[in-house]
Structure 1
Amino acid sequence: MKLMKIKTNCLKNMDLYLVLEENVVMLLEI
């Protein structure tokens, strides 16, 4: 149970990281 919670948190963080990365790439392209 605890492991699953940690796993979902990691996935959420990865999603956030990917979104941030996309934004940074877009900013650099301007």
Structure 2
Amino acid sequence: MNPRDDELITQLADLQEFLRRSDVSVITPE
């Protein structure tokens, strides 16, 4: 795995944590 992929995964994890804290559900809109 190259550093760029690792950085992207880190950003995704941060984004998921941010959404979890703000209690926003935009992942599965109906």
Same fold by TM (over 0.5)? Answer: yes
What percentage of residue pairs aligned between the two structures are identical? Answer: 9
Q: 1 or 2 for the larger relative contact order (CA 8 Å, sep ≥6)?
A: 2
Specify every segment of 5 or more residues in structure 2 that has no aligned partner in the other structure, as ranges: 25-30
Q: Which has the higher helix share?
A: 1
Distance in 2 (CA, whole Å) between partners of 1:10 and 1:3 is: 11
- Calculate the aligned-residue CA RMSD, in Å: 1.5
Runs of 4+ residues over 4 Å off in structure 1: none
Aligned residues: 23
Q: TM-score, normalised by structure 2?
A: 0.71
**Length-normalised TM-score, structure 1:** 0.71
Q: Which has the larger radius of gyration?
A: 1
